[in-house]
Amino acid sequence: MLFNSYPFIFLFLPIVIAGFYLLGKLSGKTAATAWLTFTSLCFYAYWHPPFILLLLLHITGNYGISRLMHGKSDKQRGIICTIGVVANLLVLGYYKYTLFLLEIISPLTGKLDSLPNIVLPIGLSFHTFQQIAYLRDTRKDPSKADYPFLDFAFLVSFFPQLVAGPIVHHNELLPQLKNRFTVWRLRRFAPGAALFLMGLCKKAVFADRVAPISNLLFDGVAGGATPGLADAWIGVLAYCLQLYFDFSGYSDMACGLALMFNFRLPCNFNSPYKSLSLVDFWRRWHMTLSRFLRDYVYIPMGGSRGGTAKTACTLMGTMLIGGLWHGAAWTFVVWGGLHGLGLGVNHSWKASRKKRGLGGMPAPLGWLLTFLWVMISWVFFRSTSFSSAWTILGSLIGLNESSGDMWETIKHNQFGLMVVLGVIVLFAPNSQQWLRRYRPLLDFSPPRFAAPGKFHPGWIEKPAGAFCLAVFLIVILLNMPRVSEFIYFQF
């Protein structure tokens, strides 16, 4: 079930909200938590009912492994945790990477005539990482990860973050169950609804309307077309905007939904296209994934210990894993490698400048180099093959002549909207800044929400605010071109 679908907005969500607050008032926290867990499982089963069994086995198995670590020695916990992590990775590997490995091996062996039909369960990558983090934390200190089964099941299955993140840490969400989270609070529900509608607008009105431009380029190249200089630049920039508003929209909707139930989720998206360096970009883009890779991959591999060269190698290894996590294809590996290379150069350059007592790069130049590097990497992220990526990159630098009239089609297809969206991305406050008075998100790292001026949206708590939000919802629904999946659902 998609957040931007009519059944979710008009049927599922009202029922879940009403049942949550009613049960919380009549029966208490346990009943409300059980209701949210049950309805979250129903939300997941709506997509493909058989996979609900896999999710339940995943939850039960990981909880059982975590309980086995209680009362054990450090060495025993290490062995149990390793078994649990390997088991999780094997499940993820089977569903996500079996076909990828068979495609690599089959040409060498010549024994495979056809590939098996393996369907990737939606959200598997996200809740697998979440549960691996829980096991690792239990291994370090079982007393800090000691929760009842219902709480753990709620942590994994909570529907706003189940299928595409944010990757929520247990010590961020579960302690909130101790508060009066079942009490209706207009001061939380209203900004939650506003944040949800902002995300819906980003997805349905912005991302989905600019998507045809990027699809025209990438699908056309995959079909054999050759874009010209203008075709390539407009198409790639369109994809940059599509991905930005699609992922930003989902993150806003997820955090807004959680806030409607009195839960704050961690910030996952903080104006990444305003970044002045690649290091800054990864502090702003998919922030909870960056945190997971840092804490559970980068630091265990050695982190920044051992000198500049070793740090660069560790960064490269971490980003290659991050690229492969995004998709079982070599294009994703190259995408991760490009970011690993860029991060290594960024760190080395900063260390060299600091050692010589020199200042940083001028902000406009830093922004331009960062955005160009990110844009080039998105070409591999979106392309279905290396040949398509090389064709587009060649067109970006003027090496190819257009084989069709793509530019004429693009020119009349929401080009003005792209200009408006570019201005919004670079100069407008983001969702957190608009609603900062209500602190809608958890801050797990020093916030960088430098909102200009004084803007206090206190009107959303008042009846006039509710009316405005309702009108806003109607306008969005009337302008929805079609219901489409979020891009990050495929990961």
Q: How far apart are CA 166 and CA 168, in angstroms?
A: 6
Cβ distance 265 to 173 under 8 Å? yes
Q: How far apart are CA 214 and CA 475, in angstroms?
A: 25
Residue 251 burial (C-beta neighbours within 10 Å; 0-12, 13-18, 19+): buried
Q: How far apart are CA 330 and CA 183, in angstroms?
A: 49
Closest CA to 134 of 75, 67, 54, 44: 67
Residue 74 burial (C-beta neighbours within 10 Å; 0-12, 13-18, 19+): exposed
Cβ distance 460 to 259 under 8 Å? no
Question: What SS3 state is found at 283?
Answer: coil
Cβ distance 476 to 249 under 8 Å? no
Closest CA to 8 of 38, 40, 32, 37: 40
Residue tagged active-site, from 286, 326, 339, 347? 326
Any catalytic annotation for residue 70? no
Helix then strand then coil, in percent of the chain rounded to 5, is 70, 0, 30
DSSP assignment of 157-216, as one string? H-HHHHTT-----HHHHGGGGGS-TTS--HHHHHHHHHHHHHHHIIIIIIIHHHHHHHHH
Question: What SS3 state is found at 285?
Answer: strand
Question: What SS3 state is found at 340?
Answer: helix
- Secondary structure E strands in 281-369: none
Beta-ladder partners of 285: 269
Contacts of 407 by beta carbon, 8 Å cutoff, 6+ apart: 228, 230, 231, 234
Closest CA to 259 of 197, 335, 192: 192
Given the structure tokens 């790639």, which residue do they identify? 236
Cβ distance 269 to 440 under 8 Å? no
Which amino acids are annotated catalytic? 326
